[in-house]
Copies of this chain bind each other. A is one copy, B any other.
Amino acid sequence: MSGRTTDKKQTKLDLAARFRQTRQRTLTLCKPLTPEDMMVQSCAEASPAKWHLAHTAWFFESFVLREFLPGYQLFNAEFPWLFNSYYRSFAAFPEKRLRASFSRPGLDDVLRFRAHVNEAVERMLGDDVSSEALARIELGVHHEEQHQELLLTDILNAFFANPLRPLYQAMEPTHALSTRTANPLHFVHFPGGLQEAGHAGAGFCFDNERPRHKVWLEPFALADRLVTNGEFAAFIADGGYRRPELWLNAGWDATQQNGWCAPLYWTEEDGAGAGGRWSLFTLRGAMPLERVAAVPVCHVSYFEADAYARWAGRRLATEYEWEAAAAGQTVAGNLLDAGRLMPAPASAGEPGRNQGLAQQWGDCWEWTSSAYLGYPGFQPLSGSLGEYNGKFMSGQMVLRGGSCVTPAAHIRASYRNFFPPETRWQSSGIRLAAL
């Protein structure tokens, strides 16, 4: 047996394990949820948890099994378009808001659909399978990881929309929040110069991380930790939401039209504007601001991140600066695998790890000042999968670094997340840059 064959066999074994774990984890995340919880779609960006369960199975069925498993039988002839999200060249699809009406198929059916797909993928993995098929399965795993994060993001929104504010999971003692103030913020300097950015090497990446290309960077500095809730509260107290000179024009309009006066999920106990006590809602329940003052501020829009930076006399980093600082660093931090499900204060021991930057991975996605556009020479995947990332390259901003609900295996230095600048339902926070 050649080494090459052995390698491929090992790759298959690794991928099979990754597939199983990922598929299983999606279910584990649903453990605290009732079938009724899994019906809720509480904002335009969100989908019901049950839909996430079904759509991630749909992805494997549509792009793996139907293309690469001869004789594969559809679980249900309606599902190919019912659970299509936005792939126009693949099939029609229901309006997004209708997902809230999918009481049928019931959760049991969806779980059977998942099992049907799992069994078929396992069958493929136990057999002779092309590299292209393996690559598609790997893509499906990464796709499912994205939806794991979305599922938790959407459940937080759903539970916040419910006036009873249900609890997803009680805080565990090991996650107890330190009540100390955050360390003073320091800036770590980077020399810049002619760099390379974009995915390098053989591992998995999305099409939007390619091609790797040269970019010139001026010297820059990044804050050694994220902005905290306490710091952001000072911005609010200083009239941050009432001073147009701090805001981009579109950001100011967003504050006025939406009545923003704090990050999403912050509520003022004694009524808006009354100078009351802030309470922050999380997957671990509601918490008074004082308790989480050292925790990174989360669920802010790009506009709020930008305004905060201007107020602080700083700026946001470009995605290239962020990537230059992250390149070569080991991925580790408060990611989904840590099980905390909310940002954590920068730990004393951590800052030394990555050129002095704490919280580079996990905690909060970091808004960058870069618009989400194709890299020079960008080529989307061929066929319907070309719609995965490329068609969204307009009107969105890049975020980097993953969050407390991002699977650790999912994130990397070249990973580009992207959302419109008014987005707040994501776990998005702020790292300041300077120079």
In the assembled complex, A15 has its CB within 8 A of some CB on chain B:
no
A306 to B387, CA, bound (A): 15
Binary interface profile of A, 402-435, with partner B (CB < 8 Å = 1, else 0)? 0000000000000000000100000000000001
The answer to whether B37 and A36 touch across the interface, beta carbons within 8 angstroms, is: no
Contact residues in B for A163 (Cβ distance below 8 Å): 78, 81-82, 94, 98
Q: Which of B42, B50, B103, B394 contacts A101 (CB under 8 A)?
A: B42
Contact B391 A98 (CB under 8 A): no
Q: Are A251 and B394 in contact (CB under 8 A)?
A: yes
Whole-angstrom distance from the CB of A144 to the nearest CB of chain B? 22
Contact A216 B218 (CB under 8 A): no
**A106, A216, A244, A377 interface centre (most CB from chain B within 10 Å):** A216
Q: From residue A166, how far is it (CB to closest CB) to chain B in Å?
A: 5
A82 near B164 with CB under 8 A, answer yes
Q: Taking the complex as formed, is A248 at the interface, i.e. its CB lies under 8 A from any CB of chain B?
A: yes
Chain B: minimal CB distance from A19 (Å)? 28
Within 8 Å by CB of A394, from B104, B158, B166, B248, lies: B248
What string of 1s and 0s marks CB contacts (under 8 Å) between A174-192 and chain B? 0000000000000000000
Contacts of A166 in B (CB 8 A): 103-104
Report the bound CA distance from A50 to B369 in whole Å. 38
The answer for the CA separation of A373 and B398 in the assembled complex, in Å, is 13
Whether B162 contacts A104 by the Cβ 8 Å rule is yes
The answer, yes or no, to whether A350 is at the interface (CB within 8 Å) is: no
A373 to B319, CA, bound (A): 13
Nearest B-chain residue to A421, judged by Cβ: B394
Counted per complex, copies of this chain come to: 4
Q: Chain B residues near A89 (CB, 8 Å)?
A: 244-245
Interface string of A71-104 (1 = CB under 8 A from B): 0000000100110001011000010001011111
The residue of chain B having its C-beta at the shortest distance from the C-beta of A82 within the complex is: B163
Considering the chains assembled together, what is the distance between the CA atoms of A104 and B160 in angstroms?
12
B40 touches A100 (CB 8 A): yes
Q: A215 to chain B: which residues have CB within 8 Å?
A: 216
User: Is A247 interfacial (CB-CB < 8 Å)?
Assistant: yes
Let me know if A346 is at the binding interface, CB within 8 A.
no
Quick one: which of B50, B106, B218 contacts A376, CB cutoff 8 A?
A: B218
A259-312 CB contacts (< 8 Å) to partner B: 302-303, 306
Cβ distance A193 to chain B, nearest Cβ, rounded Å? 10
Given contacts A36-B107, A216-B215, A249-B391, contact A101 B158 (CB under 8 A): yes
In order of increasing CB-CB distance, the 5 nearest A-B pairs are A371-B371, A101-B161, A36-B103, A39-B39, A37-B103
In the complex, 27 of the A-B residue pairs with CB atoms within 8 angstroms, ordered by the A residue number, are A34-B103, A35-B35, A36-B39, A36-B50, A37-B104, A38-B103, A39-B39, A39-B40, A41-B100, A88-B244, A89-B245, A98-B162, A98-B163, A101-B161, A102-B162, A103-B162, A104-B166, A214-B218, A218-B377, A247-B391, A249-B391, A249-B392, A249-B394, A250-B394, A318-B376, A369-B374, A371-B371
